[in-house]
Amino acid sequence: MKTLPTLLGKNAPFFLPFLLWIVAGALLQAYFTHDDLFLAINRAHAPWADVIVSGMTYIGDGIAFAVMLAIILVYRKYKLFFAAGTVLLLTTIIVQIAKHYYNEPRPTLYFADAGTLVHTVKWVTVHGSCSFPSGHTTTAFALFTFLTLICRNKMAGFAFITLALLAAHSRIYLAQHFFVDVYTGSIIGTTSSLVVYTLFQSRIKASPEAVSEPVVSLT
């Protein structure tokens, strides 16, 4: 069984950039206001980006996670399927409890009284409540953390963290969330996958279908 530090080191292409993101995100929130961070990202838009980003946001949709579960089933890795399903269930519970407990307004509602111009994409339905944390970002980071842990090609971690961050950016660009929402969601998603994977690895003995065995080959 691999220890947590060994697991993190083996998957450094994902977890080192993630650590940089955590540090940079904390500094940004320390030096800039809640409003300024959102507006700086949301106002950097273009017509061509509207199309790309509105598609990119679906990376964090539950359907993307379901596709991963289906692929794992195709490989007949039933213990991995159970582990991934546990991650999805855990993140869903955490996010939904937090969303309804805090019930924070989303950007369009938050800035409505101030008359601040918020960029939205006309074909994307913008919600008004339950902003914190971002469910799409949580799902995206949970998905790509899990893929990082089971993928044979560890260099794919760079691509996975990039996709996760793009999903997080899309939520602010589309005026669905604030920076703190996606920042917290990234921590919830990554931690959930890492903890669940590690726990399953510690409980299941080595076998052809053990959780510790990677199943995806990206060369």
> Per this entry, what is the length of the chain?
219
Question: Among positive and negative, which fits the CA dihedral 150, 81, 200, 63?
Answer: positive
**Lookup: tokens for 195:** 């903890």
pLDDT digits (tens, 9 = 90+) for 108-160: 999 998 778 899 999 999 999 999 999 999 999 999 999 999 999 999 999 99
Please choose, from the candidates 130, 148, 123, 14, the residue with its C-alpha nearest in 3D space to the C-alpha of residue 58. 123
pTM for this prediction: 0.92
What are the domain boundaries of the chain? 4-203
pLDDT digits (tens, 9 = 90+) for 67-90: 999 999 999 999 999 999 999 999
Q: Is 147 exposed, middle or buried (0-12, 13-18, 19+ CB in 10 A)?
A: buried
Alpha helices in 75-178 (DSSP H): 78-102, 107-110, 135-150, 156-173
Domain 4-203 listed as CATH 1.20.144: yes
pLDDT band at 214 (very low <50, low <70, confident <90, very high): low
What proportion of the chain, given as a percentage, has pLDDT over 70? 92
